[in-house]
Amino acid sequence: MSEIFKGIPAIAYEGKDSKNPLSFKYYDPDRVIMGKKMSEHLPFAMAWWHNLGAAGTDMFGRDTMDKSFGASEKATMEHARAKVDAGFEFMEKLGIKYFCFHDVDLVPEADDINVTNERLDEISDYILEKMQGTDIKCLWGTANMFGNPRFMNGAGSSNSADVYCFAAAQIKKALDVTVKLGGRGYVFWGGREGYETLLNTDVKFEQENIARLMRLAVDYGRSIGFTGDFYIEPKPKEPMKHQYDFDAATAIGFLRQYGLDKDFKLNIEANHATLAGHTFQHDLRISAINGMLGSIDANQGDTLLGWDTDEFPWSVYEATMCMYEVLEAGGLTGGFNFDSKNRRPSNTYEDMFHGFILGMDTFALGLIKAAALIDDGRIDEFIKERYASYKTGIGAKIRSGNTTLEELAAHAADLKAPADPGSGRQEYLESVVNQVLFS
């Protein structure tokens, strides 16, 4: 098989002073941070759809990039195999150890689902073959239940029982392929699970159906030996006006309501959190404190645009606060999937590498700086001290649950005037972050 990314060498760590665009400045896989190698803290993954599929098309213009990878015609099995070849060469050159896929990223979808499934068998055999002799693994798989017109009214939330069965069929096959490839996780992103108008929607009915489909997926997955985590990937909108898995808190409530919280965690995507009106860090924190921080779709949005731009992450502030949450949570069971794509005008093979180098270096720097913030200790210490009034006296009674409303009221009556809760010191804390980041 001939080289696809000709002239692009294996990308090595050269350090922060290197001017070589095809080198890592911060991602040094064997460097140990807080007792673990960088490569273990940061199980990076390649998203099949963006990296091997997306070719720059937007609402106003067609492809700007050539992602045929040498195949004579796109959307053929020849092209599907060329994508596998390109994907493995790409991951090996970057030292990426994981990939993520939707069923229809791997093969062109046929009109007949049985034909699509045969194609998936063929391509997963080929992927398995390519995995032999490498240490590349599958992070997670998923079914695309949003692209085909049959899903226009939803998949698990569809008004049509037949469409619901097609969703089930795709999930079953995507789980088969995920298990075959040894995937760590399985994702549900409900792109069409929501509504355009409440005038035609029975929300309770739809949510019950989605939960049932997830339960059936868990039961089937466990029956074929899938021991990994299922994930919900929250997103508030786009493509639907309102999506049920709006944000981490909403998805956690849903999972608990339907008894799915033992099998599911969350896959938090930076750009989805910001679309929900949160910071990336917020949705990570909410997931972590509920024991549900599973995996991350690493990207970033644009504050000037109100949609999901899936940019390669380059904000070191965001990556640092992300890694701070991940370190404090004790790590991920999943990994960091670059659900990120090159900008339309960045249309060469080299740009594909620049995107990943940027993303990997940004998270490596975030990891280094988050560890430094924790080591510095001022932030953690400040937070601990801020709640010191709960350590003794009436505060300790509140925390232990050993009090009554009357007792608290009597305490307040004795005090007569409100006590001074103390400064929040936000500006000071922000300056600590800057000092750690730029020293």
Q: Which residues are catalytic?
A: 102, 105
Specify whether the CB–CB gap between 321 and 285 falls below 8 A.
no
* Angle, helix 426-438 to helix 316-328, in steps of 10 degrees: 100
Mark residues 187-206: x for contact with ligand XUL by CB under 6 A, - for none: x-x-----------------
Interface with ligand XUL (CB under 6 A), residue from 192, 235, 285, 341: 235
Based on the shown chain and the rule CB under 6 A, indicate whether residue 90 belongs to the binding site for ligand XUL.
no
Q: What are phi and psi of 42, to 5 degrees?
A: -125, 70
Residues 306-335 that bind Co ion (CB under 5 A): none
Please provide the size of the chain in residues.
439
Residue 160 tokens, joined: 């049509």
- The C-alpha atoms of residue 358 and residue 28 are separated, in whole angstroms, by 13
Task: Return the amino acid letter for 170.
Answer: Q
- DSSP readout, 245-301? S-SHHHHHHHHHHTT-TTTEEEEEEHHHHHHTTS-HHHHHHHHHHTT-EEEEE--B-
Q: How many residues bind ligand XUL (CB under 6 A)?
A: 10
Which residue, chain included where needed, has tokens 């508030």? 236
Residue 311: contacted member of ligand XUL, Co ion, none (CB under 5 to 8 Å, by partner type): none
Candidates 103-111, 214-222, 268-276, 376-384: pick the segment binding Co ion (CB under 5 A): 268-276
Based on the shown chain and the rule CB under 6 A, indicate whether residue 297 belongs to the binding site for ligand XUL.
yes
Residue 240 tokens, joined: 């639907």
Beta carbon of residue 97, minimum distance to ligand XUL (angstroms, whole number): 19
Interface with ligand XUL (CB under 6 A), residue from 334, 339, 340, 363: 339
Based on the shown chain and the rule CB under 5 A, indicate whether residue 269 belongs to the binding site for Co ion.
yes
Residue 308: contacted member of ligand XUL, Co ion, none (CB under 5 to 8 Å, by partner type): ligand XUL
Q: Is 102 or 173 the residue whose CB approaches ligand XUL more closely?
A: 102
Q: Is 140 or 324 the residue whose CB approaches ligand XUL more closely?
A: 140
Q: Is 273 or 436 the residue whose CB approaches Co ion more closely?
A: 273
Residue 235: contacted member of ligand XUL, Co ion, none (CB under 5 to 8 Å, by partner type): ligand XUL
Q: Give the distance, in angstroms, between the CA of residue 436 and the centroid of all CA atoms in the same chain.
A: 27
Residue 187: contacted member of Co ion, ligand XUL, none (CB under 5 to 8 Å, by partner type): ligand XUL
Beta carbon of residue 287, minimum distance to ligand XUL (angstroms, whole number): 15
Beta carbon of residue 147, minimum distance to ligand XUL (angstroms, whole number): 10
Q: Give the distance, in angstroms, between the CA of residue 408 and the centroid of all CA atoms in the same chain.
A: 44
Q: Is 147 or 291 the residue whose CB approaches ligand XUL more closely?
A: 147
Strand partners, 23: 12
Strand partners, 336: 44, 296
Based on the shown chain and the rule CB under 6 A, indicate whether residue 229 belongs to the binding site for ligand XUL.
no
- Closest listed residue to residue 207, CA positions, set 267, 152, 250, 271: 250
Beta carbon of residue 435, minimum distance to Co ion (angstroms, whole number): 33
Which residue, chain included where needed, has tokens 């009214």? 153
Q: What are phi and psi of 306, to 5 degrees?
A: -95, 20
Based on the shown chain and the rule CB under 6 A, indicate whether residue 54 belongs to the binding site for ligand XUL.
no
Q: Is 189 or 195 the residue whose CB approaches ligand XUL more closely?
A: 189
- Closest listed residue to residue 234, CA positions, set 253, 249, 247: 247
Mark residues 338-357: x for contact with Co ion by CB under 5 A, - for none: -x------------------
Based on the shown chain and the rule CB under 6 A, indicate whether residue 186 belongs to the binding site for ligand XUL.
no
- Closest listed residue to residue 332, CA positions, set 73, 143, 85, 139: 139
As a three-state string, the secondary structure of 109-150 is: CCCCHHHHHHHHHHHHHHHHHHHCCCCCEEEEEECCCCCCHH
Radius of gyration of the chain (CA): 24
Specify whether the CB–CB gap between 258 and 245 falls below 8 A.
no
Residue 188: contacted member of Co ion, ligand XUL, none (CB under 5 to 8 Å, by partner type): none
Beta carbon of residue 313, minimum distance to Co ion (angstroms, whole number): 13
Beta carbon of residue 386, minimum distance to Co ion (angstroms, whole number): 34
Q: Is 85 or 308 the residue whose CB approaches ligand XUL more closely?
A: 308
Q: Is 13 or 98 the residue whose CB approaches ligand XUL more closely?
A: 98
Residue 89: contacted member of ligand XUL, Co ion, none (CB under 5 to 8 Å, by partner type): none
Specify whether the CB–CB gap between 105 and 52 falls below 8 A.
yes
**Nearest residue to ligand XUL on Cβ basis:** 189
Beta carbon of residue 93, minimum distance to ligand XUL (angstroms, whole number): 23
Residue 34 tokens, joined: 């807080």
Residue 190 tokens, joined: 């409900």
Residues lying near Co ion in the complex (CB under 5 A): 269, 297, 339
Q: Which residues bind ligand XUL (CB under 6 A)?
A: 102, 142, 187, 189, 233, 235, 269, 297, 308, 339
